[in-house]
Amino acid sequence: MREVLRLEDVSLTYQAENGEVHALESISFSAGKGELIALVGPSGCGKSTLLSIIAGLEPPTSGKVYLNGAPLRGVSNQVGYMLQKDNLLGWRTIRANVLLGLEIRGMMTSGNIAYADELLESYGLAQFADKYPAQLSGGMRQRAALIRTLAIRPDLLLLDEAFSALDYQTRLAVTDDVFRILKSMGKTAIMVTHDIPEGISMAERVIVISHRPGRVKSVHSVDLAAATPLERRSNPAFAGYFNTIWKELDVHV
Amino acid sequence: MFKKFSPAGGLSPARAAYLAEQQRLGLLVRLCQVGLLIFFVAGWEISARLGLIDSFIMSSPARVLRTLTNLRENGLMLHVGITTFETLVGFGLGALLGNLLAFILWWSRFLARVAAPYLVVLNALPKIALGPVIIVWVGAGMQAIIVMALAISLIVTVLEMLGGFVSTDRELIKMAETFGAGRLQTFVKIIYPSNLHTLFSSLKVNIGLSLVGVIAGEFLVSRAGLGYLIVYGGQVFQMDLVMTSVLLLALLAALLYGGVVLLERVVMKALSQS
């Protein structure tokens, strides 16, 4: 399995008004091509910050991030980022929204536009291309956001609580949807979630991050022989993974 | 759109009753509005005719109409035209400069922090007090009136637009940044379009403010315009002229405001943001 992402001793310390915050400490892991990794941890453990670092939005205080073997410098064409909300722009049609990434990156070649149209076609949004986001359901909007990310042809996808703004039913459906799309394209993905079952149902590996400073507390390989997240959820072994990871998280109320 | 909730073949009786009630209420409001206007105009006219009020001081609808029909000799339309022109130029410049300044202050957080107390003071200052200063600086004439209109709408625009820019949805901005958007790209593609509502709400306030600036300016320096007619009419005790001008001014203000509302509707519809 070719290695797409590697983190070596990534640490982040930042200055806040009331002192120095050690957000992340010596985080190391790697992700192979086509692999899906879930980062779970208590809120405030810096897992979203870690995604920002991998996305090249902020540099780590120390440590290295390698993307396809080369050190990461700033925002890269090879990384696509999906946020909690779909963040579709209300004044643009779905097609114009999907093309936004290409537009910002100055990659509006006819080949890339055709590819984006192809994605809209294959993921069932072609007939909504000229509609505005407000006219689409939450699930379809999230799919449009995914296509916007895929249109720049990233090797690595970062999903930052990408489903948590959806209601429960839509969320299960969209999770299935996104999983299938990512797998069919062989994309590597790192997802951040506070929802343990969501992580187990999608990922090959679940990495538990400890509370501040965020460290890799444990790594769990999920071996559920099933095709989709929904099927995985009904696997008898599912609960076992949940219990192990739940204990690791050590949640106190 | 509501139809799909009703049974096939027409509205349910409850729905029909509800719609009829809504329609009746709307009609009643409109009727009262028109009735009030008729009552006011008729009351004014009758009181004048019966001698309850002195029509030399209070004028009367008939006298206002006579003044209006004598349009040609007193050049009323020219005055209306001049006031409209000054207002639109002052308003346009205020909006343009205000947006530009707001952009600059958004671009430089440092500058914005330095400027903050000055903006607050300038915003609170009654700009009309600057009238004499403006006249001395730019000369007594139309330019002074336009600058008045500009001054009165500028700071409000800056504050409103800047406020809108800095409170733009952080998630949208982050989304653009994950695609590698620079600050200018973020502004053009995300921040400005998401603040069109802010822009139009400030334009709606400013069209009225600009008119205030123009009338105040005309009071001070002009030889033409509705503000001039009002002052002139007052000085020579021609209350018919004053009343006519004030009524025209009210009409003009309503039309200008309506124009901005229409512009908003057209732009928002074109961008499907309504």
Distance from CA of A160 to the nearest CA of B (A): 11
Selected for mutation to probe chain B from A49, A86, A103, A104 (highest B CB count within 10 Å) is A104
Residue A80 CA to residue A51 CA, distance in Å, equals: 11
Q: A95 with A177, same domain?
A: no
Asked if the Cβ–Cβ distance from A90 to B273 is below 8 Å, we say yes
Name chain A contacts of B194, Cβ cutoff 8 Å: 89
Asked if the Cβ–Cβ distance from B171 to A81 is below 8 Å, we say no
Last residue of a domain, one of B16, B31, B53: B53
pLDDT digits (tens, 9 = 90+) for B51-78: 898 888 889 999 999 988 886 677 888 8
Residue of A nearest to B172 (CA): A87
Q: B7 with B95, same domain?
A: no
> Does A230 fall in a domain?
yes
Provide the domain count of chain B: 2
Phi, psi of A7 (to 5 degrees): -110, 130
> Does A83 fall in a domain?
no
Name chain B contacts of A105, Cβ cutoff 8 Å: 179-180
Asked if the Cβ–Cβ distance from A132 to B176 is below 8 Å, we say no
In percent, how much of chain B has pLDDT > 70?
95
Instruction: Report the pLDDT value the prediction gives residue A124, as an integer from 0 to 100.
Output: 84
Q: A99 with A8, same domain?
A: no
Q: Is A83 on the interface with B (CB under 8 A)?
A: yes
Asked if the Cβ–Cβ distance from A91 to B193 is below 8 Å, we say yes
Q: A144 with A168, same domain?
A: no
Asked if the Cβ–Cβ distance from B272 to A91 is below 8 Å, we say yes
DSSP, residue by residue, B228-261: HHHHHHHHTT-HHHHHHHHHHHHHHHHHHHHHHH
Last residue of a domain, one of A128, A153, A178: A153
Q: B92 with B32, same domain?
A: no
- State yes or no: pLDDT of B132 exceeds 80: yes
Q: Is B197 on the interface with A (CB under 8 A)?
A: no
Residue of A nearest to B190 (CA): A89
Torsion on CA atoms A118, A120, A126, A129, rounded to nearest 10: -120
> Which pLDDT band holds residue A248 (cuts at 50, 70, 90)?
confident
> If residue A129 lies in a helix (H) or strand (E), which one and from where to where?
none
Q: Is A112 on the interface with B (CB under 8 A)?
A: no
Asked if the Cβ–Cβ distance from A83 to B175 is below 8 Å, we say yes
Name every residue whose Cβ is closer than 8 Å to that of residue B44 and which is 6 or more positions away in sequence: B53, B58, B60, B61
Instruction: Report the pLDDT value the prediction gives residue B103, as an integer from 0 to 100.
Output: 96
Residue B189 CA to residue B172 CA, distance in Å, equals: 10
Give the pairing type, strands A79-82 and A156-160: parallel
> Does B62 fall in a domain?
no
Which residue of B172, B178, B189 is in closest CB contact with A81?
B178
Instruction: Report the pLDDT value the prediction gives residue B3, as an integer from 0 to 100.
Output: 46
DSSP, residue by residue, A176-225: HHHHHHHHHHT-EEEEEES-HHHHHHH-SEEEEEPSSSB-EEEEEE----
Place of tokens 């000229």: A130
CA B90 to chain centre: 12
Provide the domain count of chain A: 2
- Name residue A231's amino acid: E
Going by C-alpha positions, the residue among B252, B249, B233 that lies closest to residue B241 is B233
Asked if the Cβ–Cβ distance from B179 to A75 is below 8 Å, we say yes
Q: A159 with A73, same domain?
A: yes
- State yes or no: pLDDT of B99 exceeds 70: yes
Q: How far is CA A71 from CA A59, A65, A74, B247, in A?
A: 12, 6, 10, 72
Residue of A nearest to B273 (CA): A91
Give the pTM: 0.84
Name chain A contacts of B174, Cβ cutoff 8 Å: 57, 83
Instruction: Report the pLDDT value the prediction gives residue B184, as an integer from 0 to 100.
Output: 94
Mean pLDDT check: name the lowest of A228-232, B18-22, B100-104.
Answer: A228-232
Give B245's Cβ-side CA count (13 Å radius).
Answer: 29
Asked if the Cβ–Cβ distance from A132 to B272 is below 8 Å, we say yes
Q: Averaged over B198-213, what is the pLDDT?
A: 94
Mean pLDDT check: name the lowest of A46-50, A228-232, B86-90, B97-101.
Answer: A228-232
DSSP B4: G
Q: A95 with A142, same domain?
A: yes
Q: Is B193 on the interface with A (CB under 8 A)?
A: yes
Sheet hosting strand A19-32, strand order edge to edge: A19-32, A3-16, A62-67, A70-71
> Does B185 fall in a domain?
yes
Asked if the Cβ–Cβ distance from A104 to B179 is below 8 Å, we say yes
Q: Averaged over A49-78, what is the pLDDT?
A: 86
Q: A175 with A226, same domain?
A: yes
Q: B139 with B246, same domain?
A: yes
Instruction: Report the pLDDT value the prediction gives residue B94, as an integer from 0 to 100.
Output: 94
Q: Averaged over A195-203, what is the pLDDT?
A: 83
Q: A71 with A178, same domain?
A: yes
Selected for mutation to probe chain B from A85, A86, A91 (highest B CB count within 10 Å) is A91
Dihedral sign for Cα atoms in the order A85, A91, A95, A99:
negative
Q: Averaged over B176-194, what is the pLDDT?
A: 92
Q: A96 with A134, same domain?
A: yes
Instruction: Report the pLDDT value the prediction gives residue B9, as an integer from 0 to 100.
Output: 58
Q: A117 with A223, same domain?
A: no
Determine contact, residues A123/A178, Cβ cutoff 8 Å.
Answer: no
Name chain B contacts of A55, Cβ cutoff 8 Å: 178
> Which pLDDT band holds residue B86 (cuts at 50, 70, 90)?
very high
- Name residue B59's amino acid: S
Q: Averaged over B92-96, what is the pLDDT?
A: 95
Q: Is A87 on the interface with B (CB under 8 A)?
A: yes
Residue of B nearest to A90 (CA): B273
Q: A74 with A187, same domain?
A: yes
Distance from CA of B116 to the nearest CA of A (A): 21
Residue B274 CA to residue B268 CA, distance in Å, equals: 5
Name chain B contacts of A101, Cβ cutoff 8 Å: 179
Asked if the Cβ–Cβ distance from A101 to B179 is below 8 Å, we say yes
Q: B178 with B262, same domain?
A: yes
Domain containing A173 — which CATH number? 3.40.50.300
Q: B73 with B190, same domain?
A: yes
Name chain B contacts of A132, Cβ cutoff 8 Å: 272
In percent, how much of chain A has pLDDT > 70?
98
Instruction: Report the pLDDT value the prediction gives residue B273, as an integer from 0 to 100.
Output: 55
Which residue of B172, B180, B194 is in closest CB contact with A105?
B180
Task: Name beta bridge partners: A5.
Answer: A31, A67
Instruction: Report the pLDDT value the prediction gives residue B20, as an integer from 0 to 100.
Output: 92
Residue A148 structural domain: 88-153
Going by C-alpha positions, the residue among B152, B149, B159 that lies closest to residue B120 is B159
Residue B41 structural domain: 2-53
Long-range residue pairs from A175-183, CB within 8 A, at least 24 positions apart, any chain: A175/A201, A175/A202, A175/A229, A175/A230, A176/A228, A176/A229, A176/A230, A177/A139, A177/A143, A178/A142, A178/A143, A178/A146, A179/A36, A179/A228, A179/A229, A180/A228, A181/A123, A181/A146, A181/A150, A182/A36, A182/A157, A183/A34
In this prediction the ipTM stands at 0.85
Going by C-alpha positions, the residue among B169, B177, B160 that lies closest to residue B193 is B169
Dihedral sign for Cα atoms in the order A97, A103, A108, A111:
negative
Q: Averaged over A80-102, what is the pLDDT?
A: 90
Asked if the Cβ–Cβ distance from A89 to B193 is below 8 Å, we say yes
Q: B264 with B152, same domain?
A: yes
Asked if the Cβ–Cβ distance from B273 to A104 is below 8 Å, we say no
Name chain B contacts of A79, Cβ cutoff 8 Å: 178
- Name residue B75's amino acid: G
Place of tokens 């290695």: A3
Terminal-residue alpha carbon distance, chain A = 41
Residue A68's SS3 state is coil
- State yes or no: pLDDT of B274 exceeds 60: no
Last residue of a domain, one of A119, A153, A187: A153
Q: A15 with A36, same domain?
A: yes
Q: A115 with A10, same domain?
A: no
Which residue of A57, A87, A152 is in closest CB contact with B172?
A87
pLDDT digits (tens, 9 = 90+) for B18-46: 999 999 999 999 999 999 999 999 999 99
Going by C-alpha positions, the residue among B156, B124, B118, B150 that lies closest to residue B137 is B150
Residue B154 CA to residue B91 CA, distance in Å, equals: 9
